[in-house]
Copies of this chain bind each other. A is one copy, B any other.
Amino acid sequence: MWFMRQAGRSLPEYRALKGDLSILDAVERPELAAELTLQPVTRYGVDAAILFSDIMVPLVGIGIDLEVVPGKGPVIAEPFRDATDLARLRPLDAASDVPYVAEAVRIAAKELEVPLIGFAGGPFTLASYLIEGGPSRVFSRTRTLMHSEPNTWMALMDSLASVAISSLRAQILAGASAIQLFDSWIGWLSLDEYATFVLPATKRIFAGLEDLDVPRIYFGINTSDLLSRMSTAGADVIGVDWRIGIAAARERIGNERGIQGNLNPATCLGPWETVEHETARILQEASAQPGHIFNLGHGVLPETNPEVLEKVVALVHGEQNGAAL
């Protein structure tokens, strides 16, 4: 078990250590990033660490001008508009473009007694930030480009897949023993859009890591109707959000792959009795089949009381025999 966004604003020790540094500045200091990676393992005793970083970091590395605005998200100085923007996505040379990422992985992996999970942003999610210029609720510009310039779109997916492969390979070679692809917003697509416009590049990402032989987790939210197709992408574990029960997710994903999730992060803001009940329900549903990684259904909300997560860890560890990862 671990928690998505387990390092972050909900932890006082995170706020104390990171201070006023922007997230991108913090990521560029490998000692600091490694320390932030370790914090939630120390506090919660979770079974895995996830690298403190951001899905936009490789794009910064290849020269895309962007900020990650607290409380808002990524903001791109010059959003992508058409085929001419494709030239701005040169290949990532992880060793020279983002040397601090592998360095943070090396430092953290050496300190950790649990696995370190590396990660990258999925092609749809990264494309949506590049095209919308920031966070979006309807992805109108992104879907316009997808449908009106499918060749440009497919080239964009391919470039972003290459960036993800380079970034993930560098993290694995530096010591990450599992990876997660966060294609958080794919659940805004219809099944056909997903299968036609996003799945091919996603398959290439997972295939491009196959030789390194580490578990590959694939995550998005709102994916209830996509799960069976997502299961064909080549990942070993599929992350599911809180909208679907583990049993229903298992039916769609099959028994070949692990399932990660899916306590509702918002539940953790309420009374402990509800958190306890939901956690027990998830463990019970998941116990029908091996291959479950307990997690939230999306990242820890900033308002979360860390003590609640501590109690969730105790509860899960009390009922499980060690971690599935």
Contact = CB atoms under 8 A, between A and B. Distances in A.
A23 to B, nearest CB: 17
B243 A303 contact: no
A270 B190 contact: no
Most buried by B among A224, A242, A266, A274: A266
B137 A191 contact: no
Contact of A270 (B148, B267, B274, B301): B148
A191 B146 CA distance: 32
A191 B241 CA distance: 12
Copies per complex of this chain: 2
A269 B225 contact: no
A140 B73 CA distance: 14
A2 B56 CA distance: 40
A144 B301 contact: yes
A198 to B, nearest CB: 13
Interface string A82-108: 000000000000000000000000000
A208 interface: no
A72 to B, nearest CB: 10
Contacts of A144: 266, 269, 301, 303
A102 to B, nearest CB: 31
A267 B147 contact: yes
A140, A147, A224, A243, most chain B CB atoms within 10 A:
A243
Contacts of A243: 187, 190-191, 222, 224-225
Interface string A173-200: 0000000000000010011110000000
A264 interface: yes
A154 interface: no
A302 interface: yes
Contacts of A269: 143-144, 147-148
Nearest to A226: B243
B190 A242 contact: yes
A276 B242 CA distance: 35
A271 interface: yes
A140 B8 CA distance: 15
Contacts of A187: 222, 243
A244 interface: yes
Contact of A140 (B248, B264, B302): B302
A40 to B, nearest CB: 19
A249 to B, nearest CB: 10
A132 B190 CA distance: 28
17 contacts: A138-B298, A140-B266, A140-B301, A140-B302, A143-B301, A144-B301, A144-B303, A146-B266, A147-B267, A147-B271, A150-B270, A187-B222, A187-B243, A190-B242, A190-B264, A190-B267, A222-B243
Nearest 5 pairs of A and B residues by beta carbon: A147-B270, A143-B266, A144-B269, A225-B243, A147-B269
Given A138-B298, A138-B301, A147-B266, 4 more contacts: A143-B269, A147-B274, A187-B243, A222-B243
